[in-house]
Structures are given as structure tokens and as C-alpha cells.
């Protein structure tokens, strides 16, 4: 069976910060560029980013990209690739000022410079004391950024396909990527987007967990599509739990609140972070703070009738500062916790927030195969990609920066690569749509199958209980078995509504096909990594003199690669060679 084909120079899947930044590069270079998105561009999850975007502008105090690089390597627990980290931190001032020139309405200092606030793990002078590095527009930085990028794309005549869901990559026998197959949600029509370059910017997959700060659309579609096309996924065991999700609701309270002076307290009102991170205290990196909170709760010092949360206190701040710098947070607290933070502390718990792993790329945005070669025609940027700058733990505000830097660099690489490609498109293989159409037909004709909502819930609960902030050997082993069982249910999902127009049931079933790939890779990689590092902390890899923090560099200082076919695992070395400066040598991490 054949489907309609549309031809473009480049197709970008995703219209969040990474997709829009890449699109500006391509459209302004005159390439015929299509951007596909499940939602209107400015509703992408980037819109929810609150706290800021990092860059060593040094607007309020001395700062240097090399310090930023050091903090990022340390934050990553030395799993980040040092070439990519240097590239990102050096480029940061340039891309942030560029964004300002695109019209981004940053807050200002009294001298009219971009306002910067402190953020967890960002320090001056190679780890001395917190530094003001997060460039912010109140507590709505992502919102301001996404709108600025979208407007710039409108000016550049980028062609948007809004409410289109990409279903699968098109890859030929040589392994070259030739575009995607996508579903128009409004009509149910399936169309091929034939392109010389395909850029994935599909964002995160936090919805594999039960409690998440992520939007409902964050279902890891890019990862699912890449995995089905035989591309490995990198470092999937590393998930960041943000310390401050509103207890019971999951909605995020930005770390910027602690940057502005907020303090975490246990039931006794104690500022417990002083015990866990005497130097950085409440501004230690996220994995450290999340674990401290869970330890307080587990040891009976949690708040409330069930002792199951701690509080974030800003009652000592000037109400005028709260209204000016954190208006969105006050609104969220009132709406979701019924508490005005000017008057009372906010109940918070660690909540799944960010995936450090993803589709393997280099710092140019090219996707990298298992054997280290690049995949012709395929690029990825943003949260779906693993460059790897965040390693085992991302620092706050480094993701918005990642979108700008790698969105732009992947666009530049596409332009360079395309100049070397033949003028005409490489022909599509005869059977390019077969697997996708078979998947759709299976869903259409399924009888006596499983319920999508129930299956997804089972997956989310399994991930939450077996692969959370702390990880236990037995729970992980059991988790692998459970997820493999749930995968069988995903293979037989059934939808009752067969209509073509705006069928959200079909979309949710197709999203579950992607979620399960992410969940499976996460559980399997976490079970395999027998050490603690960054966000991955196991009970059977405790803190000892031989292995401080449970980290075992001799055996585990390496990236994981998972392949869907046979759940095969392999490993590759961490790149310890920066582009221009000296290696930041392995060290024990403490804050
Ligand atoms: C609540 C919250 C607050 C945050 N705050 C900060 C912060 O202050 N600073 C910071 O640095 N980071 C922050 N982060 C992290 C950061 O915002 C995200 O990592 C980042 O915005 C992801 O951007 P992206 O462009 O990769 O993807 P997204 O913005 O998630 O966009 C993904 C795009 O892909 C599209 N898409 C997905 N699948 C398909 C498909 N199958 N077909 C077509 N289109 C598809 C979507 O429609 C969307 O347009 C925050 C995250 C959250 C959840």
C-alpha cells in the first residue's frame, strides 16, 4: 500500500526550544524546512520552564565559562563528555545574547543588564560558592524563550505542521535516514515526509513515571521511533528527580525559589540540607537534595499527617520580591497546594523531571551508531538527545542552554552536510511504510486486547516503585520482569473508538508504543549498572572508602548503549578530552 509523499530539504520533529532553534538556522539559510508538532509550538513543554537559562555572563559578579564547564562535569558525576560540555559552556554567552536580540524579555539588573540568579550546583572559581549564572525572565523563562523563538520562525517563514504526530523513521538498507511517516491528527491521514535531513527534537519522556513534572505529551516518541529503527539509546538509567514538585500534584516549583533564598525544612522546622551539603546547602545539585529529602521522610522526619513530604519555606522573603521574581510559583502554590507561600511554607516531594539519556549524538547534533559512526541524514537535539552534556545528573538551567546550543549546532551541521549531498533526494525504498501501516492495522483490528489507560498506569507505577530516587537490587530485578510482562500488554492494546477525525484514543495508544521502549530501556540499564553515580543510586553500591558515594570508576566510568533488538547492552568510553582546555580529572563529588 502506498501513502502520499511530501518532499522537503529538512524535516524537524518537535517545536519546543530545540526544534525551533534548529528551524531558525535552517529556514534563515533558505532550506525548505517542515516542523512537525503534536501541539501548537508554544504549547511544547519548554513553555513550562521556570527558573532560567545558564550562561557565564558575569552580569552581577565575576564568572567564567571554564567554571561553568567544571560545574557541569562535576554535576554529571564525570559521566558527561568533556568535548560537548566545553562546547556548550563556551557557546552559552553567545546564544543567550542572540536570544536577547531575538526579542527575549529577560528581567534586568539596575544597570539594564540581563538579571541572573544562583542555581543548584553553579559555583564560582571551580566549586567555591554559589554564583549568579541563571538568566531569568521572572519564573517564566521557558515561556518567554519559546515565544521569542516562535516569532523568529514566523519571520523566517518556517513551515509548521501543527497537530501532526510522527510515527516512524524512514531508514533504508544502507542505514540512511530519509524522513518520517506521520499522522495528521485532525483527519487521521498518514503521510510520508521525505527529507535529506531529519532532526529529532521531540523532548522528554517523564510520563513513564507515575509522578512527573512533565507535560502529558512528553511520551518519548523520538526515542521510541529511533529504537524501532535500530538506533541505540544511551544512558537511559539516568533520570532526574526534581526536589520540589508540589506534594500530591507533581507540578514543579522551580529551584529558582531556593536561588532567591528559599529553605527546605523537615517536620521539626530544621534546615536539614546543612547536614547533607554543608557548603552549598539548599543549592546542592538536584540528585543530592532529592536523596536528602527522601532520607528525611524515610527516617520519620517528614511533615503532614502521613509524614510524607517536607516544606519549602520562603515566608522570610520580602513579599514584594516574591511578587516580582516568583509570581508564577505563588500562583501554583495557591492553585495546587492551597497555600500562599508569602504566609506559609509549600509542601514538596521529589518528582520525576528530566531524562539525562537519549539518542546518542556528538556536539554537532549528528546521531551516532553503536559502532561510533554517524547515521547519515539523522540529527537530534534537546532533551531527546544525549550529547552527552548532562551525564549522570543535569544541573538546573543547563537544559534550556542545551536547546539553544545544540538546536543551533545541529542546524549548522545539517546545512554543512547538505552542501555535500546530491541535489536530488535519495529514493525511498519500495516498502518504506509497511511496518508503520502494519502497526496501525494491528491496533485497528485488535480484539480482546488490553486497555491503554490501565496498561500505561501499570507501567507508570512499576517505574515509580521499582526505579525511583533510590534503587534496590531486588526491586530492579523484579521491575525488569514486570516491564517485560507489561510490554506484552502494550503489543495487544485495543481501542474502541475507530473514528479517523481527532481520535485521541488512537494517539494515546501510539504514544504508549513509545513509552514502553523508554521504560524498558530505563529499567534494563538501571538493573545492569552495578554502581551509584549521579541520579542512579543503588542500595547494593553504598558509600565506602574504596567507592566514595558508591561510584566505581574502574568498572563503570562508561556510557551505556541499549538496543531494542534483544535488549542488548554495550558500553562506550566517556570522552574525557575537552576541545581546548585540560581534562577535568575524576574526583569524588561533594557539595
Ligand atoms: C516544569 C518544567 C520546568 C523546567 N524548568 C527548566 C528551567 O528553568 N531551566 C532549564 O534549563 N530547564 C528546565 N526544564 C527542562 C527543560 O524545560 C526541557 O528539558 C526542555 O524544555 C525540553 O525542550 P525540547 O525542545 O527538547 O522539547 P519540548 O519542549 O518538550 O518539545 C517537544 C516537541 O516535540 C513535539 N513532539 C513530540 N513527539 C512528537 C511526535 N511524535 N510527532 C510530532 N511532534 C512531536 C512536541 O509537540 C513538542 O513540540 C524544565 C522542565 C519542566 C518539565
User: Strands 346-355, 310-313: parallel, antiparallel or unpaired by DSSP?
Assistant: antiparallel
Residue list, annotated binding site: 14-19, 37-52, 221, 242, 254, 353, 383, 394, 399-400
d(CA 142, ligand 1 centre) in Å: 9
Distance, CA of 283 to CA of 281 (rounded, Å): 5
- Cβ atoms of residues 27 and 199 within 8 Å: no
Mapping DSSP to helix (H, G, I), strand (E, B) and coil, where does residue 34 land?
A: strand
Whole-model pTM? 0.96
In this structure, which residue's CA is closest to atom 8 in ligand 1? 51
d(CA 17, ligand 1 centre) in Å: 7
Report all structural domains of the chain as residue ranges with CATH numbers, in order of start.
5-238+356-418 (3.50.50.60), 242-350 (3.90.700.10), 434-543 (1.20.58.100)
d(CA 144, ligand 1 centre) in Å: 14
CA 105 to chain CA centroid, nearest Å? 24
| Residue in 302, 258, 297 with CA at minimum distance from that of residue 280 | 258
pLDDT at 248: 85
In this structure, which residue's CA is closest to atom 10 in ligand 1? 397
pLDDT at 60: 93
pLDDT at 1: 65
Q: Give, for all 591 residues of the chain, the pLDDT tens digit.
A: 689 999 999 999 999 999 999 999 999 999 999 999 999 999 999 999 999 999 999 999 999 999 999 999 999 999 999 999 999 999 999 999 999 999 999 999 999 999 999 999 999 999 999 999 999 999 999 999 999 999 999 999 999 999 999 999 999 999 999 999 999 999 999 999 999 999 999 999 999 999 899 999 999 999 999 999 999 999 999 999 999 999 988 899 999 899 999 999 999 999 999 999 999 999 998 889 999 999 999 899 999 998 989 999 999 999 999 999 999 999 999 999 999 999 999 999 999 999 999 999 999 999 999 999 999 999 999 999 999 999 999 999 999 999 999 999 999 999 999 999 999 999 999 999 999 999 999 999 999 999 999 999 999 999 998 999 999 999 999 999 999 999 999 999 999 999 999 999 999 999 999 999 999 999 999 999 999 999 999 999 989 999 999 999 999 999 999 999 999 999 999 999 999 999 999 999 999
Ligand 1: which of 400, 401, 514 to mutate, judged by most atoms within 8 Å of the beta carbon?
400
Ligand 1: which of 223, 358, 399 to mutate, judged by most atoms within 8 Å of the beta carbon?
399
In this structure, which residue's CA is closest to atom 51 in ligand 1? 49
pLDDT at 132: 97
Ligand 1: which of 203, 211, 404 to mutate, judged by most atoms within 8 Å of the beta carbon?
203
Residue list, annotated binding site for FAD: 14-19, 37-52, 221, 383, 399-400
d(CA 45, ligand 1 centre) in Å: 4
Residue list, annotated binding site for substrate: 242, 254, 353, 394
Around Cβ 442, how many Cβ atoms within 10 Å? 14
| Residue in 390, 254, 233 with CA at minimum distance from that of residue 332 | 254
Q: Do you know the residue count of the chain?
A: 591
> Beta-strand (E) ranges in 127-231?
130-135, 159-162, 164-171, 177-184, 190-200
Distance, CA of 400 to CA of 144 (rounded, Å): 12
- Cβ atoms of residues 493 and 452 within 8 Å: yes
Distance, CA of 532 to CA of 392 (rounded, Å): 10
- The DSSP element (H or E) to which 72 belongs, if any, is helix 65-75
Q: Which atom of ligand 1 is nearest to the CA of 381?
A: 26
Which residue among 132, 140, 207, 286 is the active-site one? 286
d(CA 473, ligand 1 centre) in Å: 31
In this structure, which residue's CA is closest to atom 50 in ligand 1? 49
CA 16 to chain CA centroid, nearest Å? 11
286 is catalytic: yes
d(CA 418, ligand 1 centre) in Å: 27
| Residue in 297, 336, 333 with CA at minimum distance from that of residue 312 | 333
Kindly give the residue spans of alpha helices, DSSP state H, lying in 379-497.
Answer: 398-419, 434-445, 452-466, 473-490
| Residue in 549, 510, 222, 169 with CA at minimum distance from that of residue 358 | 222
Residues whose beta carbon lies within 6 Å of some atom of ligand 1: 13-19, 36-39, 44-46, 48-53, 141-142, 164-166, 201-204, 213-214, 217-218, 221, 252, 254, 354, 382-384, 396-400, 403
d(CA 553, ligand 1 centre) in Å: 32
> Beta-strand (E) ranges in 95-140?
116-123, 130-135
Q: How far apart are the first and last CA of the chain?
A: 59
Ligand 1: which of 22, 40, 45 to mutate, judged by most atoms within 8 Å of the beta carbon?
45
In this structure, which residue's CA is closest to atom 20 in ligand 1? 46
Amino acid at each position: 500500500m502506498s501513502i502520499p509523499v511530501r518532499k522537503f530539504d529538512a524535516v524537524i520533529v518537535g517545536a519546543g526550544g530545540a526544534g525551533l532553534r534548529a528551524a531558525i538556522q535552517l529556514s534563515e539559510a533558505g532550506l525548505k524546512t517542515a516542523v512537525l508538532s503534536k501541539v501548537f509550538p508554544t504549547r511544547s513543554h519548554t513553555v513550562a520552564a521556570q527558573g532560567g537559562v545558564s550562561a557565564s555572563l558575569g552580569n552581577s559578579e565575576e564568572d567564567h565559562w571554564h567554571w561553568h564547564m567544571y560545574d557541569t562535569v562535576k554535576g554529571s558525576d564525570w559521566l558527561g563528555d568533556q568535548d560537548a560540555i566545553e562546547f556548550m559552556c563556551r557557546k552559552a554567552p553567545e546564544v543567550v545574547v542572540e536570544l536577547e536580540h531575538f526579542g527575549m524579555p529577560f528581567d534586568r539588573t539596575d544597570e539594564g543588564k540581563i538579571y541572573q540568579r544562583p542555581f543548584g550546583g553553579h559555583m564560582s572559581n571551580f566549586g567555591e560558592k554559589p554564583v549568579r549564572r541563571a538568566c531569568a525572565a521572572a519564573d517564566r523563562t521557558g515561556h518567554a524563550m519559546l515565544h521569542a523563538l516562535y516569532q523568529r520562525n514566523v519571520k523566517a517563514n518556517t513551515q509548521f505542521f501543527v497537530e501532526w504526530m510522527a510515527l516512524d523513521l524512514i531508514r533504508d538498507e544502507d542505514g540512511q535516514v530519509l524522513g518520517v511517516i506521520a499522522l495528521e491528527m485532525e483527519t487521521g491521514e498518514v503521510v510520508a515526509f521525505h527529507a535529506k535531513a531529519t532532526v529529532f527534537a521531540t523532548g522528554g519522556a517523564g510520563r513513564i513515571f507515575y509522578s512527573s513534572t512533565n507535560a502529558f505529551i512528553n511520551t518519548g516518541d523520538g526515542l521510541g521511533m529511533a529504537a524501532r529503527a535500530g538506533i541505540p539509546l544511551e544512558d537511559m538509567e539516568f533520570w532526574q528527580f526534581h526536589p520540589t514538585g508540589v506534594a500530591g500534584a507533581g507540578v514543579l516549583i522551580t529551584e529558582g525559589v531556593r536561588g532567591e533564598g528559599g529553605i527546605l525544612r523537615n517536620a521539626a522546622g530544621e534546615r536539614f540540607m546543612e547536614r547533607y551539603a554543608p557548603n552549598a546547602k539548599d543549592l546542592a545539585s538536584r540528585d543530592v537534595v532529592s536523596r536528602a529529602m527522601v532520607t528525611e521522610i524515610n527516617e520519620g522526619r517528614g511533615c503532614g499527617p502521613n509524614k510524607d513530604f517536607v516544606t519549602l519555606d520562603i515566608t522570610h522573603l520580602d513579599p514584594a520580591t516574591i511578587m516580582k521574581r516568583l509570581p508564577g510559583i505563588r500562583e501554583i502554590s495557591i492553585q495546587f497546594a492551597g497555600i500562599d507561600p508569602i504566609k506559609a511554607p509549600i509542601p514538596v516531594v521529589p518528582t520525576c523531571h528530566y531524562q539525562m539519556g537519549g539518542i546518542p549524538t556528538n556536539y554537532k547534533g549528528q546521531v551516532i551508531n553503536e559502532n561510533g559512526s554517524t547515521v547519515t541524514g539523522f540529527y537530534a537535539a534537546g532533551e531527546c538527545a544525549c550529547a552527552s552534556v548532562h551525564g549522570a545528573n543535569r544541573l538546573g538551567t543547563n537544559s534550556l542552554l542545551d536547546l539553544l546550543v545544540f538546536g543551533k549546532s545541529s542546524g549548522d551541521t545539517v546545512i554543512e552536510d547538505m552542501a555535500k549531498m546530491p541535489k536530488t533526494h535519495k529514493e525511498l525504498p519500495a516498502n518504506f511504510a509497511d511496518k508503520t501501516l502494519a502497526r496501525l492495522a494491528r491496533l485497528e483490528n485488535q480484539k480482546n486486547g488490553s486497555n491503554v489507560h490501565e496498561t500505561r498506569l501499570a507501567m507508570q507505577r512499576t517505574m515509580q516503585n521499582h526505579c525511583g530516587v533510590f534503587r534496590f537490587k531486588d526491586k530492579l530485578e523484579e521491575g525488569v520482569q514486570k516491564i517485560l510482562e507489561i510490554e506484552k500488554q502494550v503489543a495487544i492494546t485495543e481501542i474502541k473508538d475507530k473514528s479517523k477525525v481527532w481520535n485521541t484514543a488512537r494517539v494515546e495508544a501510539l504514544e504508549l508504543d513509545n513509552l514502553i521502549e523508554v521504560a524498558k530501556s530505563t529499567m534494563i540499564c538501571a538493573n545492569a549498572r552495578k554502581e551509584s553515580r549521579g541520579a542512579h543510586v543503588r542500595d547494593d553500591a553504598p558509600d565506602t572508602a574504596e567507592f566514595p558515594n558508591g561510584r566505581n570508576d574502574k568498572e563503570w566510568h562508561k556510557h551505556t548503549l541499549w538496543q531494542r533488538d534483544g535488549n542488548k547492552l554495550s558500553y562506550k568510553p566517556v570522552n574525557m578530552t575537552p576541545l581546548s582546555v585540560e581534562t577535568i580529572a575524576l574526583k569524588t563529588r561533594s557539595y
